[in-house]
Structure 1
Amino acid sequence: MKVKEYMIPVYALLIRAERRTIEDVPEVYQVPVAEHMAEQIEEN
């Protein structure tokens, strides 16, 4: 499965809304989504 960049913030939003956990997203997205969420935290 190829990572689609537009899905990274979508999965991050679902995790923040407690609709999904990081383990529920496809494996290829877990690291990019975690990095995206970490960047969001660092910006605040």
Structure 2
Amino acid sequence: MRNSGVRRINNAVRRLDWALVENVLNPPDSSDGAPFELCVATRDD
């Protein structure tokens, strides 16, 4: 069951529009953007 959940999460991440994610977090117009926190993920998370 765990492998199925991990596979679904990985597939969702692959489908993200990374250009949009980057622009939301760090807008090209130098505004503040969305607040975010960088976290380290491991296989155990």
Q: Does the alignment reach a TM-score above 0.5?
A: no
Greater helix share, 1 or 2? 1
Given the two structures, how large is their TM-score scaled by the length of structure 1? 0.32
